[in-house]
Structure 1
């Protein structure tokens, strides 16, 4: 029986195809014979009733009935449009997502770059003003301040409680890398020109904020900043994105500074309890006596006669502040010299 069916081309032309009972061919051969001018035959496929047909489908076929219509449609190759990417995500954002699924497959170079090129909190590209915390993590200052105000800091950054826990730093821009869209490192050492990309160790100087490479500090022995020539000591050097050992040392230093600050507050009569100031609390049985601590178990009341000037009569001096003798007469609130009943 002769099979006759129709083919609808991508240009909306309808072609009639007739196959004799003795004829047999595949859909791939049918495409080539009907559309010899197609650039790539594999870029198109036949569909019947909305269902795609394989190019190896043999004609005649029980699916393709008499007078049915085949549609020749172009293949849509992948490339987006599925809502999976907006173009706004940073490199480090994708790295974290991929690392959670396949931690053994993450590229160490990409992980290193993400840590040095992006803010440790927002994962956005670093842009000035930038700050570091006392553990050497680097942030965009605006993102960190917003997280502090909104109380949205992650657990690993809870040691940052205010501006006093941030160190303002000054990064040196690589010429020609002013655009945030520029690939690779954006900053460099102002002395050696080494790129701020994790391949080299960098230090931030707490006294002035300049960021220089370890190589520059090693080759140029100086007790002053190599950029602004401000004096600094060894403890002013803060390693950025240090190793586990270096971060552990910074953490110990941070804890020591907290303990030292707490002792200084206690010396001023201020005890720190759970991060809050308690100005009136003293340890043990210590009490205040004339502005000094006393361990006699009570607080001695202020008496004017105890601080009377030299050669002064204590009774007269005391009468300036309070009545030195009790009287049966009631005095007015405004004048002690005119008691009621005496005028």
Structure 2
């Protein structure tokens, strides 16, 4: 039985052929490929029939290969799975990665450290005089910190700063020539005035609270002294504040700050109990200091002294002494507005300014006692 088939190839070097074969049961497509190609290129080609790949071991006497069938000889393309090339799945994966969100580049830790030591902790602007630190060792430009306090724009991280009393002015030593070139010494503009170590975060620095000088820990360790090495002012161990310290050092400073606040509150409480606090929370303010007096306000000081020093028969104070009923220094006679009238003013006219002087002339309603009749 003869079999006539057509051989086509995508390779232009292999022409289209028409073959008339008398196949035996042992003949396969491998034998057909061997008659068409050299032995060196056999593995580089394969047959397809109606779009389906036929292995080389397929016999010629199979129902699939009918007479007048067309076999197409394809060259194998390099690549594919298992030989180091790319597969379709890998290509698709690369395509999808093009649309993935790009992760932000990791910041250089050296740049972060240098920025923390050379810029303001609040505004991130370069440090410039005057500079201040808080009780936790953060460094600020004083102008930026005061503006944030006035505008109430201070972040929660710096909520412990309530006013100027929580700021400590520091004196940073400028590197010679750094005023003209901001990039000198890789951006470092300050140094220790004793050892010359750069103020860039590589070395530990301390600020002295009493004088404000900033020195390296190495200088204070090598020169053991209880006085500042720059201005020779005496300081205590508690006056040392670590600048931009580690988490453990900041925790110690925070604990010390809370202890100082607690002591201050205790002192104020004791003074209030002892009657040493005045109207505005100031120490040692009695009636004489809290009263407005002087020619500038047009107040007769002698008249005020007479009012505060008169004796009442019911046991009130006479010039700070104990009265009949044993009332001590805490009791002071209550005086009216007319007692502080200027010397050249009529008492009735001066008293008419105040509501309390005319309160007895009005009747109060049941629904609203704060609105007297005739004035609502």
Calculate the TM-score normalised by the size of structure 2.
0.46
User: Residue 160 of structure 1 corresponds to which residue in structure 2?
Assistant: 161
User: Residue 202 of structure 1 corresponds to which residue in structure 2?
Assistant: 205
Number of aligned positions between the proteins: 187
Find the aligned partners of 1:162 and 1:229 in 2 and give their Cα distance: 29
Query: 1:139 aligns to what SS in structure 2?
Result: strand
User: Residue 220 of structure 2 corresponds to which residue in structure 1?
Assistant: 217
User: Residue 189 of structure 1 corresponds to which residue in structure 2?
Assistant: 192
- Report the CA distance shift for 1:131/1:307 in structure 2 as closer, same or farther (over 3 A): closer
Instruction: Give, in angstroms, the shift of residue 304 of structure 1.
Output: 5.4
Query: 2:262 aligns to what SS in structure 1?
Result: helix
Q: Is the 8 A contact 2:137 2:242 kept in 1?
A: yes
How big is the alpha-carbon RMSD for the aligned residues of Structure 1 and Structure 2?
Answer: 3.0
- Report the CA distance shift for 1:204/1:303 in structure 2 as closer, same or farther (over 3 A): closer
User: Residue 180 of structure 2 corresponds to which residue in structure 1?
Assistant: 179
Instruction: Give, in angstroms, the shift of residue 107 of structure 1.
Output: 1.3
Find the aligned partners of 2:260 and 2:225 in 1 and give their Cα distance: 26
- Report the CA distance shift for 1:211/1:278 in structure 2 as closer, same or farther (over 3 A): closer
Q: Are positions 1:147 and 2:148 aligned together?
A: yes
Calculate the TM-score normalised by the size of structure 1.
0.50
User: Residue 302 of structure 1 corresponds to which residue in structure 2?
Assistant: 316
Find the aligned partners of 2:152 and 2:236 in 1 and give their Cα distance: 34
Instruction: Give, in angstroms, the shift of residue 181 of structure 1.
Output: 3.2
Find the aligned partners of 1:212 and 1:127 in 2 and give their Cα distance: 17
Instruction: Give, in angstroms, the shift of residue 144 of structure 1.
Output: 0.4
- Report the CA distance shift for 1:161/1:307 in structure 2 as closer, same or farther (over 3 A): closer
Query: 2:114 aligns to what SS in structure 1?
Result: helix
- Report the CA distance shift for 1:258/1:305 in structure 2 as closer, same or farther (over 3 A): closer
User: Residue 262 of structure 2 corresponds to which residue in structure 1?
Assistant: 259
Instruction: Give, in angstroms, the shift of residue 154 of structure 1.
Output: 0.5
Which structure features the higher share of strand residues? 1
Q: Is the 8 A contact 1:125 1:180 kept in 2?
A: no
By relative contact order (CA 8 Å, sep 6+), the higher-ranking structure is: 1
Find the aligned partners of 2:212 and 2:130 in 1 and give their Cα distance: 11
Deviations 1:139-184 (A, max 9, x none): 0011101111111100100110100000000000001101363241
Q: Is the 8 A contact 1:138 1:240 kept in 2?
A: yes
Instruction: Give, in angstroms, the shift of residue 248 of structure 1.
Output: 0.3
Gaps of 5+ in 1: 1-100, 272-276, 280-299, 313-320, 322-332, 334-343
Greater Rg, structure 1 or structure 2?
2
Find the aligned partners of 1:192 and 1:302 in 2 and give their Cα distance: 68
Q: Is the 8 A contact 1:194 1:200 kept in 2?
A: yes
Find the aligned partners of 1:118 and 1:239 in 2 and give their Cα distance: 17
Gaps of 5+ in 2: 1-102, 275-279, 283-313, 325-332, 334-346, 348-376
Deviations 1:119-139 (A, max 9, x none): 000000011110000000000
Q: Is the 8 A contact 1:270 1:278 kept in 2?
A: no
- Report the CA distance shift for 1:185/1:268 in structure 2 as closer, same or farther (over 3 A): same
- Report the CA distance shift for 1:119/1:192 in structure 2 as closer, same or farther (over 3 A): same
Pairing of 1:1-343 with structure 2 (within 5 A): 102=104, 105-179=106-180, 181-182=182-183, 183-269=186-272, 302=316, 307=321
Q: Is the 8 A contact 2:316 2:322 kept in 1?
A: no
- Report the CA distance shift for 1:307/1:214 in structure 2 as closer, same or farther (over 3 A): closer
Find the aligned partners of 2:168 and 2:260 in 1 and give their Cα distance: 15
- Report the CA distance shift for 1:204/1:301 in structure 2 as closer, same or farther (over 3 A): farther
- Report the CA distance shift for 1:202/1:305 in structure 2 as closer, same or farther (over 3 A): closer
Q: Is the 8 A contact 1:203 1:213 kept in 2?
A: yes
Find the aligned partners of 1:167 and 1:305 in 2 and give their Cα distance: 43
Find the aligned partners of 2:189 and 2:140 in 1 and give their Cα distance: 15
